[in-house]
Structure 1
Amino acid sequence: MPRGGKGGRGRRGAKHGGGIARSRDDGGRSNTWQSNGPAMQTNKYFEAYYWDQNIVNPDQWQAFLDHLRAPLPTSFRITSGKPTTAILIEQMQNFYLPYLSNVKFEGEQVPPPKALPWYPESMGWQIDVKKNALRKTEQFQKFQQFLVHETEVGNISRQETVSMIPPLFLNVEPHHIVLDMCAAPGSKTAQLIEALHSPLTTMAESYDPCPPGIVIANDADAKRAHMLVHQSARLPSPNIVVANCDASRWPSVRVPWNAKGSESVQERTMKFDRVLADVPCSGDGTLRKNLMIWKDWHPHNGSSLHPLQLRILMRGLQSLRNGGRLVYSTCSLNPIEDEAVVAQALRDCKGTVKLVDQSHAFPELIRKKGVFTWKVCPTKGSKDKLNVAKTAEGETEGEQKSEEKIEGEQKAEEKTEGGEGSSYRDTLPQLPYVEKHDDLAPEWREKVPKSLWPQGDEEALGLDKCMRILPQDQNTGGFFVAVLEKDDGSEPELSEGMAHGMVRAMGLKDATVSKQEAANTAKRPLNGDEEEESNKRVKTDADVAGDANGAGPSNGVAVEKKPEDIGQPGGAPYREDPMVYVDQNNEQSQSIVSFFGLTDKFDKRNLLVRNRDANPLRSAYFTSTSVRALITCGGAGKGDHPYGNPLKMRLINSGVRSFARQDSGKDPQLKCKWRVTSDAIPVLRPLIEAKKILHASISDFAFMISNHYPKLSDVPEGDFRTALQNEDIGSHLVDIAPGTYQDQKLERTICVPIWRAPASMNLMLERQEKSALSYRIFGKDLSNPSGARQFVVSKAQKQAQAQANAKRQQKEEQSMKIDEDELEALENAAASTTAAKEEQEQQEETAAQVEEEGQELSVDV
C-alpha cells in the first residue's frame, strides 16, 4: 500500500490513495498516442515523468499503462508449515480449480485461480476476476467464503502478489533475529514468522514450535502498530515482539550474550541477522488499487520522501550484524525512492555493504534490472530554483519564466492532444528537471540533498543488481527490491548470529538464580503469614482484573496505577502495561505445569504477564527464551516497568497468549483453574507428556462439533467417553485420529482443546474456527443447523448493525409520526370545512330572514 511520510517519523499511513487509469492505443516511442479514458484515470505528469525515466521499454509502454489502469487481481498465500497447509493446497488443486474452471459470466469465460509459479510449493495464488462476477456467480461466492473463513483462522493470508516478494529474499532461518522496520499492516511480518518456525514448505513436520530466533515487528504509528498485534494473533508465536518506534531512530538495546564454550555472560548491543526495510513511499506502484494517487501524484512526491527513506535504510544497516542481510523495498517505481536511496547508502557505508545479485533466485519471477541514471524534479518550483541559479551565473531576467507562466504552459500542453504525426511525448507537460545539484541556487543546495542525483558511480556500485517489478510482466502492482549484505569485518564471533548466544546466556543466568533461590529457601522458608498475605494480594488483583484477550496494549490487567509518560523525543507517551515474567515458584505457574503435564522442555521462566506484581490473573503468555533475554535486559526500568528494554523499544505486545483463566472454574474439585487457548496448541502440544493427551475418533469429533456442552452420558460409547469420565475436571487436549466419517476423510491428526465439566464437556473453539474446521473436514458446518459457514462478527459490525437498526426504527417512528400529523391535519381541515359550511349556511339563513323582514316592512309602510 502507499505509505506517505508524515512529519519525518517514518509513518506508513496512507497519505495518498490511488486507483485506475485509462488506456491508449498501441505504439512505439515516436508514434502518436491518444488519451481516450476518463480524466480521473490519468495523470500527464506521471506519464511524462516515467516516459523520461526509461524504466519501461517503448514497446511495453502501452501494456504498462493498460495494466496500471486495470483492476488488481486478488492474491493470497497459504500459511506454510501448518497441519492445514497440505490440506488447503490439495483443496485448491483438486477441488476449487476444477470447480472454477468452466464458469461463465455474461457470456464470457471467467479465469480460474492460478498458482504463482515463483512462490514455493504452490503456496501463493492469484485470481483475476471482476468484482461483479465474484459476487454474482455461485461458484465464486463459495470460493470467496472459503477464503474469508480460512483467513479468519490464520490458514490463509490475503496479500498483494508483489508484497510477498521481499520476505522471500531475506532467506530467514529459525535462529535469526529479524527486524521488520516498517511492519504495518503486517502481511510481510506474517511471512517472517512463518519462515522462523518452518521453511517455506507444506510439511507440517518441519514446524519448530519455539525456535531460538526473534521477529520484531515495528511501526512508528501507534494505531498501525496495534494492527500488527491483531495480525500476529492470526499466527501465534512465542517469538514475536511488537514495537512502536521511529524506524529512522531505531534504538540500540543491550542483551545478555554468551560465547560458545565460555562460562561468562556479557552484555552486548543486539545486532540483527535480517532486516526488512519496506519503507514509507509515494506508492505509485499501487495505482491499480489506490484511486486517488492518479489525482495527487506529482514528480516531487518521491523527492520529499527520499531523505526519510535514506535515514531508515542507514539505521537498518547500522543495526545489522556483520554477514547479515537487509532487504530494502518500496511500492514505488520512482528511481529517486529506489536506486538513489540505495546508491547513497552504499556510498555512506564506504565499502562495508554491497548489493547482492539475486538473478538466480526464484527464476520464474520476472524482474527488471536497476537503472544507472534518472532525471530529478527536486520539489515544486524546481525550474524557478534552477533559473535563480542561472541568474546568479549572469543570465538576464528576461530569459526567466515565472512559476505561474510555467504552470500555465504545462496546463496548456496537458490539454493538447497528440495530432497526426506528432510524437506522444510532445502531448505531455515539459517537467522542470534539474540536471545536477550544482544547478540549484546556493540557498537551495543546502535544502535539497545531493543524493537525489546520479553521481557517476552507479555502475560501479552495481545498481543493476536491484530489481524492479513492472505491472505488465505478471499482471501485478509495481515494486522495487534491493538485497544488501554487510561485511565490515567486525565481531567475527557473531557470525552465527546472536540468538544462540542469548539463549546460552539465559541458561547460565537461570542456573545462578536457581542456586541462590535454593540457598535462600534453605535459610528462611516462607511462613504462613507471608503466604496468606501473598494470596490476599492475588485475590485483590483478580477482583479488579479485566479480561485479557491478547498480549496487546492496555489489555485490562489488574493494576491500579498511573503510568508514567515515558516516551521518545517527539513521540507519544508510552502507556503500555508492564511486561513481567512469572517466578517459576509461583503457585499458579506450578499448577499449570503439574496439571497439563508440561515436560522439562517447557521453561516456566518464560511465562509472562502484564502486571507489575508478576501474578497470573486472567491470562498468561508464553515467550521464547531469546525474547525473555531481550525483555529483561537494558537496565532498570521506570514506574511499573521493571526492565529498560521494553521502554526503549516501546513494546506493546510479546509472545502468545497460552493460558486463560476459566471463570466457571470455581468447583471445589477443580485442580487447575487455567485452560489452554487454541492459539497456543501448536506451541504447547509438543511440550506436553503423552499420557496427558486424550484420543478420539473422527466420529467423536463430529459429535463434539455438533453439540454444545453435551452431557458426559450423551457422549458416544467408546474409549474417548471412558477416558473423559476418568479425567479430572478442567482443560484437556484431544488428538483426533485420521479416519472416515460419512464419506469424509481426515488424513492427518489434529489436536483440539476441550473443557471437562463435572457432568458435561465442550469443544473450546471460537465459532468461526469451529465452523472453518468442520467445513474443512466434513464439507459443512456441523455446529450450524443449516450447515452454512459462520463468520466472525466484530464489535464494529455489531455496532454498525445496532446503529442501522436504530436508524430504521427512528425512521419508522418518524414515518408513523408523519402519518399521525397528516391525519390530525386532515381532521382539522375537515372540521374547519364543516364549521365554515355551517357558518355559511347560518349566514345565508340570516340573510334570508333579513330580506324577508325587509319585504314585510315595506308592505307595512
Structure 2
Amino acid sequence: MGRKRSNPLSHARGKQQKPENVWFRRTGAGYSLFLEYYANQPIGTVAGRYDDILVTKIPDMKINETNSGKTIEKLGRGLSRAAKRRKKKKGQSMLVLEDVDQQQSSSIVEAKLLARQTPLSPQLLDAFRHDQSKVTACLLPFVHSMAMPLPLTLRVRQHDRMTSKKTELLLSAFEGILDKVSFDESIYQAKFSKESISRKCPELKDLLLEQSQNGSLARQEIGSMLPVLALQQVGALGPNSRVLDLCSSPGSKTLQALEIVGTKGRVVANDVSETRLTALRGAVGRSGLPESYTDRIVYSCQDATQLILTTTRLWDAAMCDVPCSGDGTCRKDKHVLPMWKPSHGNELHQTQVKILLRALRWVKPGGVVCYSTCSLNPIEDEAVVAAALLHLRGDDKLAPAVEVIEWPHPTGFTGRPGIANWKVADYPRDASDKGLTDEVGVGSGDDGETPRLQWYETYSEAKDAGMQCALPSMWPPEKTTDLHLERCTRLWPQDQDTGGFFLALLRKTAK
C-alpha cells in the first residue's frame, strides 16, 4: 500500500485552530472578508467599470448613486414586518440602480433572472447589505451571481459523430429549458441547477442518466471545459497528441482531452491522492467511452510538484488545474464562503508555482501548458504565472524560454483579460480570537463589528507584521509589460452565468 498523500487545500485549511473554525461558521465572517477582499482589488479582477455593469435583482435593496458616493437604501420603509414579508414573497421588492445622470443610466441593461429563483448563499447578500462601505455599483452583478445556484451544464461527447448527432436531436426536445451556449454547439446550459432538475424536469433527468451511461453526454461545468478547448484552439491538442494532466481528479478534463486525442494518442492522469485517483478510475469506467479510448490513459499517483515520468520523451501539451481556494465554485458549494479567508490562497501560492514549473519541465519545445484555477484570487492566478516566468528567466542560460500566449476566444464567448496589478491581504488570527465567545450576527466579528482584512503594500511590510506564508512573488513585479499577463483569461460569473475561473496558456518556445 502506497504512502498516504495529503490534499494541499485541506492542509492549508487545517492549519486553522478549531475554535476559530467554529467562530467563522457561527458568525459568517467569511462572507464579509470575501466581499472586502474583492471590493478592494483593482478594476478587472471580478468586475468592470460602472458603465459596463448589468443591473441585477436582489431582494429588499436599492442603490442610489450621487456625486458624494454610493449608499444603500432599504425599500419598504414604514411597512409592518408582515407587510414586508408579503411584499418580498410576491417578488415586488428588487434591487435597482438609480442614476441621477440619465446618460449613464441609458447604458445599463437589466439582467435576465429565472422566475422564483432563490439564492444558494443568502448570507452573502446579508453581508453585502451589512457593510455599506464595501458596496460599489460595479460589484453588484458579481455579488448577485455568486450568491445564486450554478446552472446545470452538459457537453455532448465528440468521440463518435453519429452518436453525437443522435444525442443533440434528443436534447432539442427540451429547447427553452436546455439551450446551446453561443460559443460551442456541443455545450448546453439549463435554466436551473443540478439539484433542482428532479423537481423541475424529471424527464430531462432520465434522459441525462441514459445518455451519460452510454457515453454520449458528460455533465461538466463551463469553466472546467475551457482548458481543453483553449489547448485545442491554439493547436497544442489534437488527434494523436500526448497530453499530461498533472492534477487530474475528478477526471472531467482528462476524459474531454481523451475524446480529442483518440485511440492513437496518450493521456497521463496524475493525482497526489490515491483515493481521488481511484474515484477517477471509476469515473472513466462509468463514462461509457469504448475501451479503445480508455486504454490510452496512464494513471500516476505522485506529488505534482515533484512529478517524475519514466519516459524521456516530452509531451505536446500539459494541463495543471492546480489545488486552489476554490472561491469560484461557491455557486455550487455553499460551504466555501462561510470559511473563506485570504490565507487559503496565500498558503497555496508556492505549491501552485511549483506545479506550473513542473508542467513546463515536461512539455516539448513548442508545447503548451494550460495553467488554471477555479478561483478569481490574483495571488493564485496572475501572481503564479508571473512568478514562474520570472523564475525561469533567472535560471541559467540553458533554461527554456517560456511566453504567455493569447487564447483567441471563440465567437460568443466573453473572457476578460488578466490583470497586471493586485493587492495582498491577510486576516490576522488574533482578530477572530477576540470574538470567539461573542454572539454576533451574520458577517460580524468581535463586538458586532464587521471583520477587516490587513493589507500589505510590500513583502517587507508583511514580513515585519508577521504575515504567515508571505512570499515576494505574491506581490506584482515592478515590470509586468513584457510578461503579457493581459493574455490570461478571467471568467466572470456574471458574464455567462458560470462559476469563476482563470486560465493562462504558456508556450515553451522552440530553440
- Could you say which residue in structure 2 is the equivalent of 1:128? 191
Does 1:177 find its partner at 2:256?
A: no
Q: Supply the distance in 1 between the matched residues of 2:488 and 2:505 (Cα, whole angstroms).
A: 7
Q: Which residue of 2 aligns with 1:362?
A: 410
When residues 78 and 379 of structure 1 are mapped into structure 2, their CA distance, relative to the original with a 3 A threshold, is same
Residue 206 of structure 2 corresponds to residue 145 of structure 1: yes
Residue 166 (structure 2) pairs with residue 87 (structure 1): yes
Match of 2:226 in 1: 165
Could you tell me which of 331, 337, 349 is aligned with 2:392?
A: 349
**Matching of residues 761-800 of structure 1 within 5 Å:** none
Structural mapping, 1:820-835, within 5 Å = none
2:383 maps to 1:334: no
Match of 2:70 in 1: 31
Q: Provide the rounded CA distance (Å) in 2 between the counterparts of 1:47 and 1:339.
A: 31
On the 8 A contact 2:242/2:261 being kept in 1, the answer is no
Aligned to 1:243: 300
**2:455 aligned counterpart, secondary structure:** coil
- Structure 1 residue 175: deviation in Å? 2.8
8 Å CA contact retained: 1:353, 1:488:
no
Deviation at 1:412, TM superposition (A): 10
1:674-720 deviations in Å (ceiling 9; x for gaps): xxxxxxxxxxxxxxxxxxxxxxxxxxxxxxxxxxxxxxxxxxxxxxx
Contact 1:437 1:445 in 2 (8 A): no
- Answer yes or no: is 1:274 the counterpart of 2:313: no
> CA, structure 1 residues 277+131, in 2 after alignment: closer, same or farther (shift >3 Å)?
closer
Q: How far apart are 1:320 and its partner, in Å? A: 1.4
* Matching residue's letter, 2:149: P
1:14-54 alpha-carbon deviations (Å, 9 max, x no partner) = x9999999865446693124799987445859999x969xx
What is the alpha-carbon distance in structure 2 between the residues aligned to residue 445 and residue 86 of structure 1? 55
TM-score normalised according to structure 1 size? 0.42
Higher strand share: 2
* Secondary structure at 2:168 match in 1: helix
Alignment of 1:420-435 (within 5 A): 429-435=451-457
Query: For residues 185-584 of structure 1, what are the structure 2 equivalents within 5 Å?
Result: 185-197=250-262, 210-211=263-264, 213-233=265-285, 234=287, 235=289, 236=291, 237=293, 238-254=295-311, 269-350=312-393, 352-358=401-407, 360-378=408-426, 380-381=428-429, 415=444, 429-441=451-463, 448-487=470-509, 489=511
SS in structure 1 opposite 2:453? Answer: coil
Does the alignment pair 1:5 with 2:9? yes
Distance 1:353 1:159, change over 3 A: same
What secondary structure is seen at the aligned counterpart in 2 of 1:127?
strand
What residue identity is the alignment partner of 1:337? E
Question: Secondary structure in 1 aligned to 2:412?
Answer: coil
| Distance (Å, rounded) in 2 between the aligned partners of 1:125 and 1:327 | 24
Specify whether residues 376 and 253 from structure 1 end up closer, same or farther in structure 2 by C-alpha distance, changes over 3 A only: same
For 2:454, what is the secondary structure of its paired residue?
coil
Structure 2 contact 167–211 (Cα < 8 Å) conserved: no
- Alpha carbons of structure 1 residues 132 and 147: separation in structure 2 relative to 1, 3 Å: closer
Kindly indicate whether the alpha-carbon contact (under 8 Å) linking 2:9 and 2:344 is maintained by their aligned counterparts in 1: no
Give the TM-score normalised by structure 2.
0.70
> Is the CA contact (8 Å cut-off) linking 2:366 and 2:508 kept in structure 1?
yes
Letter aligned with residue 476 of structure 2: P
Contact 1:253 1:270 (8 Å CA) reproduced: no
Higher relative contact order (CA 8 A, sep 6+): 2
Structure 1 residue 66, shift from structure 2 partner: 1.0
- Specify the SS of the correspondent of 2:258: helix
The 1-side partners of 2:402 and 2:345 are apart by 24
Deviations 1:227-269 (A, max 9, x none): 2212222223231111111111110423xxxxxxxxxxxxxx2
For residue 192 of structure 2, give the secondary structure of its aligned residue in structure 1.
coil
Distance in structure 2 (CA, Å) of the matches to 1:141 and 1:47: 39
* AA matched with 1:91: L
State the 1:344 CA deviation. 0.3
User: Matched residues in 1 for 2:433 and 2:314: separation?
Assistant: 52
Inter-CA distance 133–376: structure 2 relative to 1 (3 Å threshold): closer
Q: C-alpha separation between the residues in 1 aligned to 2:224 and 2:410? A: 15
Q: Match of 2:183?
A: 118
- Specify the SS of the correspondent of 1:123: strand
The AA in structure 1 aligned to 2:206 is Q
The answer to whether the 8 A contact 1:116-1:126 is kept is yes
The SS at the match of 2:364 is strand
* Aligned AA (1:80): Q
Superposition RMSD on alpha carbons, in Å? 3.7
Whether the 8 Å CA contact 1:113–1:127 is kept in 2: the answer is yes
User: In the alignment, is residue 78 of structure 1 matched against residue 156 of structure 2?
Assistant: yes
Q: CA deviation at 1:407?
A: 10
Secondary structure at the aligned position of 1:275 is classed as strand
Q: Residue 269 of structure 2: SS of its match in structure 1? A: strand
The CA deviation at 1:415 is 4.8
Distance 1:68 1:446 in 2: 28
**Partners in 2 of 1:335 and 1:43 — Cα distance?**
25
For the 8 Å contact 1:303–1:379, the answer to whether it is kept is no
Distance 1:414 1:379 in 2: 14
Q: 1:74 to 1:412 in 2, by over 3 A?
A: closer
What is the aligned-residue identity percentage?
29
When residues 25 and 70 of structure 1 are mapped into structure 2, their CA distance, relative to the original with a 3 A threshold, is farther
**Within 5 Å, which residues of 2 pair with 1:643-722?**
none
Distance 2:468 2:202 in 1: 58
Query: Structure 1 counterpart of 2:70, which letter?
Result: N
- Report the residue type matching 1:89 in the other structure: E
Say if 1:468 and 1:481, in contact at 8 Å, map to a contact too: yes
**Would the aligned equivalents of 2:243 and 2:318 in 1 still touch at CA under 8 Å?**
yes
TM-superposed deviation, 1:294: 1.8
| Shift, 1:291, TM fit | 0.7
The residue type equivalent to 2:301 in the other structure is: N
Q: 1:180 to 1:128 in 2, by over 3 A?
A: same
Change (3 A) 1:152 1:292: same
Q: Please give the alpha-carbon distance, in whole angstroms, between the structure 2 residues aligned to 1:70 and 1:181.
A: 31
**Cα gap change, 1:186/1:446 in structure 2, threshold over 3 Å: closer, same or farther?**
closer
Q: Kindly tell me: are residues 7 and 294 of structure 1, through their superposed partners in 2, closer, same or farther at Cα, counting changes over 3 Å?
A: closer
> For residues 35 and 281 of structure 1, what CA distance do their matches in structure 2 show?
36
Alpha-carbon deviations, 1:106-135, whole Å to 9, x = none?
Answer: xxxxxx21101112xx11100012678743
